């Protein structure tokens, strides 16, 4: 192929830009139609008293002002933040530990087996998982408390106590999702060239030093990716909660998105639901921007 | 739409015969008027917005097949929402269809959603059509009046033809009763009798632990505890919160005590009574007919039914479903013809065999199939003598979520019954005020 | 590393898994932890599988039977005997899932490469804008999307699920991170050989992106296969539904369906994703040994 190829005769810089735009074009077409446009519509709805069948009226900032007096929204935000902190920490942490262990000198067969096992829960839809985990968590008739009882531990109110219910949600979430973090970490670990380790070993580095001086820095783009993705996902947590506690008892495990869902589909107050979503959107955006900004200090790209 | 034919208008046409009057009102060519129903070679396309489980879907499929024998050129699309996660989602989807101008001819919905669809003007009133059509009138006559009336609008007008119904009744395990040396519960047993029975049936430890009862912990399942105490979450006209009624407090405290004071029922969160009951972990629970489908297919036999224990009253609760003609249909007579097949006696007979709900007609249950299992199957229709529908105002989804949220906090001991009901009353009152405003604006 | 040439990556290298050092304490410790973790992860799934083979009334007993006690295979036949057209639903799900997965692999690898390795004005802003779309809870945008689909005449059409699925901000982000992680030397070497950007992408970046593509492929396949909410809103016809909707039918009113049959249906529904995962996993290994990167 000639240098010019199929592309018009352009300066190298312009040619690079042209290829760049072409490469992102398909994504941006879909993005504009199916994400940006509905998002703009949602912004519009957030300023309305919205009704599908009776016509909507603009109410200015009313939906936004209403939020400051909404005690349930405050609880939902606190729950969401607690969930996010724990879920991100344990999903990423356990996923990394598993990936690093799997990346050691294991026979290939064993590694594939373990990797499959840890990833297995990711494959099962939330709707199906509910049947299994409710049976595990039941207070008086559940499996976990049965085994704890064998050791003389009093039954734990997994789903009927405000604090335990949140713990139950986090445990289920980690069981379900840490395999995903593990898989991505493993793909990242495997793309670190072996030569780096060999060179460092020649310099007499021990395993710990290898881990902190080579693995972590070279894996940092992947770690960053996992932290960002899990944070964004956790701040929008919905599935794990709706199948297990539906936000209860009371509001003890109600996340912001669960609350949005309730306002939109039970109270039919779509305008307010859109407004709440916009604040969540803004908060996630700010936190993600913050992560990108901090990442410059610790993420190393080749 | 000419669907709002008044009684007086109707009388003007009586000279032409009721069938012609009806046909003329709906703008049909006069030649077909006397035949009333559209001719058999009518071509068309009808869309049903439907819900249910697999067996019900098969049963309605048969009804559609019967309709297609009469109208082979009509394509019927049976759109389908799997058991909806609450009626809110189901209704939103329906409204989206209406707002988008998508074709819907027949709407199936449970009582929980009827008032909302009537208020949002999604369904057509039927009084005049019933008056003009003997077959429709016969369908209404054959259905138990209490069932038919529950689906009416606040204006007293009929919008829905009864599709099926379910009540709440006690399911008990006769083998466990016998093992404990207990007689089957008396039909007029009281809360005290119930508690005593449940205590005796609560036995064992660890893996052998057995509970006397499992609380069906959802709005419909809890309602018999209110009705048997002569109270409810809403006032009788479903317009205001009734949670400040001392009888509600008494009922809630009784439900709470089953778990926390007497320990005769397992903690409610995460428990599905309909899994535990056939597993033999519990001796009694409450349900309608819906678990019988699974009892039959899995060959489970150790079950009979008995009325809900009474306190001040013996009233239990029921919920029913109905068929309505969508406001957006282009062919009302044709849609009505399809409803005649969907709500036919044949469908009721199939419902008996399917076992997820009770048929609209009592006559469909006067056979061996229905009465052989459970032994006291006649008690399902027997409960109609003293029964009230589940309170279903137009904001049902909101009422349910407010009440159940506070109820779960009470059951979790996060708040006392007094505190929980007080907070729920304040919230529910505000929601009902908002509804009143909405209805007034409507 | 500096003098690494692209061809060098084509040579296979012995995998470290073959073991160059004797087994040490650390390895045994790893084994122990991994095994315990694997058992904990598997137990609920083992219970699910063994329940699918039991009569219902034996399912919820304590202590739970983790392993099959009976082999009631009729639970696996029951879903097909129900009125749910499971074969149709399987085909529908497969069509949607394959279309979405292939589409995303194409769009995400292209865009991911552009955002990672090409310079053009507005690049970072465009990327952040795209990433922002991950942050919108779709429970709210669903109404505008429904009205849009209606205007496109796509209600009750599988394209209503496929078209929005063809792109993914998550996938672009994943691919970008992987492309960014690749050694610059490779691309410098290709440049010296006279390769343009398009050729660098197809001949250098893409072959090395095997693990990332396989990862994205599995994740997308799985997410689409299991999607419930979106098909629930857009696909209402009996014969156009997807598998999760069909299984939801089996669970019955108030969860009164036969749990053993539900478990059997779930187990069968998992098989395709499991198969894809195992195939992709094998492909990851092959891609790695071929590339000579650390396997």
**pLDDT (tens digit per residue) in B258-303:** 999 999 999 998 888 988 898 889 999 999 999 998 888 888 899 9
Helix B417-441 crosses helix B396-411 at what angle (to 10 degrees)? 170
The verdict on residue A51 lying in a domain is: no
The verdict on residue A148 lying in a domain is: yes
pLDDT at residue C133 is higher than 50: yes
Nearest chain A residue to B396, by CA: A266
Instruction: Give A-chain residues touching C219 at CB under 8 angstroms.
Output: 180
pLDDT at residue A113 is higher than 80: yes
- List the single residue in C146, C245, C251 with the smallest CB-CB distance to B96: C146
- List the single residue in C133, C196, C266 with the smallest CB-CB distance to A31: C133
Between CA B164 and CA B173, with CA B170 as vertex, the angle to 5 degrees is 120
The verdict on residue A59 lying in a domain is: no
Cis ω for the linkage preceding C263 (within 30 of 0):
no
The reported pLDDT for the residue numbered B14 is: 36
What residues pair up with B48 in beta bridges, in sequence order? B78, B106
pLDDT at residue B32 is higher than 80: no
The distance of B396 to chain C (nearest Cα, Å) reads 17
The distance of C142 to chain A (nearest Cα, Å) reads 8
Tokens of B21: 């009057």
pLDDT at residue B13 is higher than 80: no
The reported pLDDT for the residue numbered B25 is: 45
Q: What percent of chain A has pLDDT over 90?
A: 42
Is the Cβ of A242 closer than 8 Å to some Cβ of chain C? no
> In terms of C-beta density within 10 A (0-12 exposed, 13-18 middle, 19 or more buried), how is residue A148 classed?
middle
Residue C119 has a CB neighbour count (10 Å cut-off) of 10
Rounded Cα distance, B420 and B406, in Å: 6
* Short-list B380, A177, B300, CA closest to C259: B300
Section B311-339 average pLDDT = 95
Residues 117 through 176 of chain B touching chain C, CB cutoff 8 Å: none
b (16+ CB within 10 A) / e for B49-61: bbbbbbbbbebbe
Compute the Cα dihedral for B275, B280, B285, B286 and give only its sign: positive
The distance of B195 to chain A (nearest Cα, Å) reads 19
Rounded Cα distance, B162 and B152, in Å: 10
Could you give the 3-state DSSP secondary structure of residue C39? Answer: helix
**pLDDT (tens digit per residue) in C160-186:** 999 999 999 999 998 998 888 788 888
Residues A132 and A70 in one domain: yes
Tokens of A29: 């077409």
pLDDT at residue C204 is higher than 90: no
Higher pLDDT, B172 or C138: B172
Expressed as residue numbers, the domain containing A193 is: 65-298
Residues A163 and A27 in one domain: no
Residue A69 has a CB neighbour count (10 Å cut-off) of 8
Q: How confident is the model at residue B151 (pLDDT cuts 50, 70, 90)?
A: very high
What residues pair up with B46 in beta bridges, in sequence order? B76
Q: Looking only at Cα atoms, what is the longest distance across chain C?
A: 71
Section C38-58 average pLDDT = 85
b (16+ CB within 10 A) / e for B411-437: bbbbbebeebbbbbbebbeebbeebee
What residues pair up with A215 in beta bridges, in sequence order? none
Q: List strand residue ranges (DSSP E) for B83-228, in order.
A: 106-110, 161-167, 169-172
Rounded Cα distance, B98 and B182, in Å: 56
Q: Could you give the C-alpha distances from C188 to A1, A239, C121, C199, C292, in angstroms and in order?
A: 18, 45, 22, 13, 19
pLDDT at residue A115 is higher than 90: no
**pLDDT (tens digit per residue) in B116-137:** 999 999 999 999 999 999 999 9
CB B396 within 8 A of CB B116: yes
* Short-list B152, B289, B317, B312, CA closest to B220: B317
Mutate to test the interface with A, among B412, B423, B434, B440 (most CBs of A within 10 A): B412
Residues A26 and A71 in one domain: no
The reported pLDDT for the residue numbered B202 is: 96
Residues A118 and A214 in one domain: yes
- What does pLDDT average to over chain A? 88
Instruction: Give B-chain residues touching C83 at CB under 8 angstroms.
Output: 54-55, 57-58, 61
List the chains bordering chain B where 3 or more Cβ pairs fall under 8 Å.
A, C
The reported pLDDT for the residue numbered C22 is: 59
The verdict on residue A216 lying in a domain is: yes
Q: Where are the domains of chain C?
A: 6-15+78-291
Out of A179-188, B229-238, C74-83, pick the least confident: C74-83
Is the Cβ of A188 closer than 8 Å to some Cβ of chain C? yes
Cis ω for the linkage preceding A260 (within 30 of 0):
no
Is the Cβ of A116 closer than 8 Å to some Cβ of chain C? yes
The verdict on residue A214 lying in a domain is: yes
pLDDT at residue C288 is higher than 60: no
Residue ranges of the alpha helices (H) in A6-103? 12-31, 37-46, 62-68, 71-102
Mutate to test the interface with B, among C84, C254, C259, C263 (most CBs of B within 10 A): C254
Out of A164-173, B387-396, C219-228, pick the least confident: C219-228
Compute the Cα dihedral for B239, B240, B241, B247 and give only its sign: negative
* Short-list A150, A151, A171, CA closest to A159: A171
For the ranges A74-88, C42-56, C79-93, C200-214, the one whose mean pLDDT is highest: A74-88
Residues A2 and A121 in one domain: no
CB B69 within 8 A of CB B39: no
Residues A31 and A110 in one domain: no
> In terms of C-beta density within 10 A (0-12 exposed, 13-18 middle, 19 or more buried), how is residue C4 classed?
middle
Is the Cβ of A198 closer than 8 Å to some Cβ of chain C? no
CB A92 within 8 A of CB A227: yes
List the chains bordering chain A where 3 or more Cβ pairs fall under 8 Å.
B, C
Compute the Cα dihedral for C194, C200, C204, C207 and give only its sign: negative
Q: What's the gap between Cα B407 and its chain centre?
A: 22
Rounded Cα distance, C17 and A105, in Å: 5
The reported pLDDT for the residue numbered B213 is: 97
Residues A182 and A125 in one domain: yes
**pLDDT (tens digit per residue) in A184-203:** 898 888 777 778 888 888 88
Counted residue by residue, chain B has a size of: 442
Instruction: Give A-chain residues touching C42 at CB under 8 angstroms.
Output: 117, 120
The reported pLDDT for the residue numbered C172 is: 95
- List the single residue in C82, C150, C251 with the smallest CB-CB distance to B83: C251
The reported pLDDT for the residue numbered C285 is: 57
The reported pLDDT for the residue numbered B31 is: 35
Q: Could you give the C-alpha distances from B76 to A179, B45, B52, in angstroms and in order?
A: 46, 6, 17
Residues 80 through 119 of chain C touching chain B, CB cutoff 8 Å: 82-84
The reported pLDDT for the residue numbered B17 is: 38
The reported pLDDT for the residue numbered C233 is: 82
Cβ within 8 Å, pair C241-B300: no
Section C187-196 average pLDDT = 83
Helix C259-291 crosses helix C210-226 at what angle (to 10 degrees)? 170
Rounded Cα distance, A45 and A253, in Å: 27
Q: Which residues contact B234 (CB under 8 A, 6 or more apart)?
A: B240, B241, B242, B391, B393, B399, B428, B432
Q: Which residues contact B298 (CB under 8 A, 6 or more apart)?
A: B278, C55, C56, C57, C258, C260
Q: How confident is the model at residue A302 (pLDDT cuts 50, 70, 90)?
A: low
Q: What percent of chain C has pLDDT over 90?
A: 23
The reported pLDDT for the residue numbered B64 is: 96
pLDDT at residue A108 is higher than 80: no
CATH no. for residue A219? Answer: 1.10.3720.10
Residues A233 and A135 in one domain: yes
For the ranges A49-53, A285-289, C95-99, the one whose mean pLDDT is highest: C95-99
Q: What percent of chain C has pLDDT over 70?
A: 87
Q: What percent of chain A has pLDDT over 70?
A: 96
Section B343-359 average pLDDT = 92
ipTM of the complex: 0.84
Section A173-187 average pLDDT = 90
**pLDDT (tens digit per residue) in A32-62:** 999 999 999 999 999 999 887 778 889 999 9
Rounded Cα distance, C11 and B434, in Å: 73
Structural domain total, chain A: 2
Could you give the 3-state DSSP secondary structure of residue B51? Answer: strand
Tokens of A94: 């356990």
For the ranges A34-43, A72-81, A213-222, the one whose mean pLDDT is highest: A72-81
Residues A1 and A110 in one domain: no
Rounded Cα distance, C126 and A17, in Å: 13
pLDDT at residue A91 is higher than 80: yes
**pLDDT (tens digit per residue) in B178-235:** 999 999 999 999 999 999 999 999 998 877 889 999 999 999 999 999 999 999 999 9
Nearest chain C residue to A112, by CA: C281
* Interface B-C: count of C-beta contacts within 8 A: 114
Section B170-179 average pLDDT = 96
What one-character DSSP code corresponds to residue B390? Answer: P
Out of A66-70, A136-140, B215-219, B304-308, pick the least confident: A136-140
pLDDT at residue C40 is higher than 50: yes
Between CA C22 and CA C29, with CA C24 as vertex, the angle to 5 degrees is 140
Q: What's the gap between Cα B237 and its chain centre?
A: 18
Instruction: Give C-chain residues touching A15 at CB under 8 angstroms.
Output: 196-197
Q: How confident is the model at residue B20 (pLDDT cuts 50, 70, 90)?
A: very low
* Short-list A89, A94, A84, CA closest to A182: A94
CB B326 within 8 A of CB B310: no
Q: Which residues contact B249 (CB under 8 A, 6 or more apart)?
A: B417, B418, B421
The verdict on residue A52 lying in a domain is: no
Tokens of C55: 């009569």
Out of A155-169, B59-73, C76-90, pick the least confident: C76-90
The reported pLDDT for the residue numbered C295 is: 28
Section B30-38 average pLDDT = 52
Is the Cβ of B75 closer than 8 Å to some Cβ of chain C? no
Instruction: Give A-chain residues touching C211 at CB under 8 angstroms.
Output: 187, 190-191
Could you give the 3-state DSSP secondary structure of residue B190? Answer: strand
Rounded Cα distance, B217 and B404, in Å: 9
Residues A119 and A9 in one domain: no
* Short-list A126, A128, A166, CA closest to A249: A166
The distance of A165 to chain C (nearest Cα, Å) reads 19
Residues A71 and A203 in one domain: yes
Residue B108 has a CB neighbour count (10 Å cut-off) of 26
For C6-15+78-291, CATH gives 1.10.3720.10
Cβ within 8 Å, pair B271-A138: yes
- Sheet-wide strand order for B304-306: B284-287, B169-172, B304-306
Q: Could you give the C-alpha distances from B173 to B177, B224, B303, B309, B383, in angstroms and in order?
A: 7, 20, 5, 16, 20
Cβ within 8 Å, pair A267-B398: yes
Section C241-268 average pLDDT = 82
CB B169 within 8 A of CB B379: yes
What one-character DSSP code corresponds to residue A192? Answer: S
Rounded Cα distance, B68 and C260, in Å: 36
Out of B68-77, B159-168, B205-214, B425-434, pick the least confident: B205-214
Cβ within 8 Å, pair B300-C57: yes
CB C164 within 8 A of CB C145: yes
Rounded Cα distance, B234 and B244, in Å: 10
Domains and CATH numbers, chain B: 7-166+319-372 (3.40.190.10), 169-318+386-441 (3.40.190.10)
């Amino acid at each position: 192929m000639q240098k010019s190829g199929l592309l018009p005769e352009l300066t190298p810089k312009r040619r690079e830009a042209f290829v760049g735009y072409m490469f992102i074009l398909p994504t941006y077409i879909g993005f504009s139609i199916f994400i940006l446009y509905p998002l703009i519509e949602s912004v519009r709805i957030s300023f309305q008293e919205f009704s599908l069948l009776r016509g909507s009226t603009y109410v200015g900032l009313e939906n936004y002002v209403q939020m400051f007096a909404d005690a349930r929204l405050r609880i939902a935000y606190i729950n969401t933040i607690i969930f996010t902190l724990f879920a991100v920490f344990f999903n990423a942490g356990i996923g990394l530990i598993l990936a690093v262990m799997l990346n050691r000198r294991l026979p290939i067969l064993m590694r594939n087996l373990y990797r499959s096992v840890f990833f297995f829960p990711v494959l099962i839809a939330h709707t199906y998982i509910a049947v299994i985990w409710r049976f595990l968590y039941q207070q008086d008739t559940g499996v976990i408390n049965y085994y704890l009882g064998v050791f003389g531990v009093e039954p734990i109110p997994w789903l009927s106590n405000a604090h335990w219910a949140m713990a139950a949600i986090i445990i289920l979430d980690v069981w379900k999702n840490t395999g995903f973090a593990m898989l991505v970490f493993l793909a990242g670990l495997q793309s670190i060239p072996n030569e780096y380790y060999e060179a460092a070993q020649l310099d007499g580095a021990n395993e710990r030093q290898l881990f902190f001086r080579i693995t972590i820095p070279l894996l940092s783009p992947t770690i960053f990716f996992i932290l960002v993705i899990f944070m964004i996902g956790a701040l929008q947590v919905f599935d794990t909660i709706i199948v297990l506690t539906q936000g209860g008892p009371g509001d003890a495990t109600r996340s912001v998105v669960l609350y949005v869902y309730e306002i939109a589909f039970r109270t039919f107050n779509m305008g307010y639901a859109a407004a709440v979503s916009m604040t969540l959107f803004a908060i996630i955006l700010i936190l993600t921007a913050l992560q990108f900004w901090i990442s410059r200090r610790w993420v190393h790209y080749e | 739409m000419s669907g709002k034919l008044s009684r007086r208008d109707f009388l003007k046409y009586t000279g032409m015969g009721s069938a012609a009057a009806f046909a003329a009102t709906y703008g049909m060519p006069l030649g077909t008027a006397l035949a009333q129903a559209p001719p058999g070679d009518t071509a068309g396309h009808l869309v049903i917005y439907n819900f249910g489980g697999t067996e019900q879907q098969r049963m309605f499929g048969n009804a559609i097949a019967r309709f297609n024998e009469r109208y082979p050129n009509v394509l019927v699309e049976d759109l389908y929402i799997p058991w909806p996660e609450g009626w809110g989602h189901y209704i939103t989807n329906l409204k989206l269809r209406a707002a988008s101008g998508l074709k819907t001819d027949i709407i199936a919905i449970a009582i929980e959603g009827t008032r909302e669809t009537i208020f949002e003007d999604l369904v057509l009133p039927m009084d005049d059509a019933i008056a003009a059509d003997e077959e429709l009138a016969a369908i209404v006559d054959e259905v138990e009046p209490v069932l038919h009336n529950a689906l009416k609008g606040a204006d007293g007008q009929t919008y829905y033809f009864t599709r099926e119904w379910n009540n709440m009744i006690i399911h008990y395990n006769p083998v466990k009763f016998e093992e404990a040396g207990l007689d089957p519960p008396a039909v007029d047993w009281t809360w005290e009798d119930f508690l005593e029975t449940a205590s005796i049936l609560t036995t064992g430890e660890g893996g052998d632990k057995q509970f006397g009862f499992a609380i069906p912990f959802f709005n419909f399942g809890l309602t018999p505890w209110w009705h048997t105490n002569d109270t409810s979450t809403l006032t009788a006209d479903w317009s205001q919160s009734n949670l400040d009624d001392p009888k509600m407090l008494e009922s809630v405290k009784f439900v709470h005590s089953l778990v926390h004071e007497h320990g005769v029922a397992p903690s409610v969160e995460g428990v599905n009574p309909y899994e535990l009951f056939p597993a033999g972990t519990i001796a009694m629970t409450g349900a309608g007919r819906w678990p019988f489908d699974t009892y039959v297919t899995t060959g489970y036999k150790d079950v009979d039914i008995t009325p809900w224990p009474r306190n001040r009253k013996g009233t239990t609760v029921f919920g029913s479903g109905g068929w309505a003609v969508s406001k957006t249909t282009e062919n009302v007579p044709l849609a009505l013809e399809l409803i005649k097949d969907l709500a036919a006696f044949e469908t009721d007979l199939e419902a008996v065999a399917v076992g997820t709900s009770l048929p609209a007609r009592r006559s469909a249950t006067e056979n061996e199939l229905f009465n052989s299992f459970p032994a006291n199957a006649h008690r399902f229709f027997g409960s109609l003598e003293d029964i009230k529908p589940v309170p279903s105002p137009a904001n049902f989804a909101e009422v349910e979520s407010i009440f159940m949220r506070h109820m779960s906090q009470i059951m979790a001991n996060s708040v006392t019954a007094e505190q929980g009901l007080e907070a729920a009353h304040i919230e529910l009152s505000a929601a009902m005020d908002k509804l009143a405003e909405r209805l007034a604006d409507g | 590393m500096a003098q690494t040439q692209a061809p060098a990556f084509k040579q296979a290298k012995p995998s470290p898994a073959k073991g160059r050092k004797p087994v040490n304490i650390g390895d045994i410790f790893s084994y122990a932890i991994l095994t315990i973790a694997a058992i904990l992860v598997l137990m609920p799934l083992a219970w699910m599988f063994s329940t699918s083979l039991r009569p219902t009334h034996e399912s919820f007993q304590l202590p739970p039977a983790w392993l099959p006690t009976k082999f009631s295979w009729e639970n696996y036949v029951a879903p097909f005997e129900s009125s749910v057209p499971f074969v149709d639903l399987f085909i529908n799900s497969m069509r949607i899932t394959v279309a979405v997965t292939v589409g995303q692999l194409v769009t995400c690898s292209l865009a991911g490469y552009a955002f990672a390795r090409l310079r053009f004005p507005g690049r970072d802003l465009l990327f952040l804008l795209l990433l922002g779309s991950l942050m919108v809870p779709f429970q709210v945008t669903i109404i505008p999307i429904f009205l849009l689909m209606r205007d496109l005449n796509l209600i009750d059409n599988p394209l209503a699920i496929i078209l929005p699925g063809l792109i993914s901000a998550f996938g672009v982000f994943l691919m970008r991170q992987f492309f960014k992680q690749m050694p610059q030397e490779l691309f410098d070497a290709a440049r010296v050989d006279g390769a343009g950007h398009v050729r660098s992408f197809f001949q250098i970046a893409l072959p090395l992106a095997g693990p990332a593509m396989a990862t994205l492929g599995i994740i997308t396949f799985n997410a689409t296969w299991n999607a419930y909410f979106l098909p629930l809103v857009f696909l209402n016809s009996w014969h156009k539904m997807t598998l999760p909707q069909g299984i939801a039918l089996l669970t019955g009113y108030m969860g009164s369906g036969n749990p053993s049959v539900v478990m059997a249906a779930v187990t069968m529904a998992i098989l395709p994703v499991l198969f894809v995962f195992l195939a992709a996993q094998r492909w990851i290994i092959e891609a790695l040994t071929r590339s000579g990167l650390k396997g």
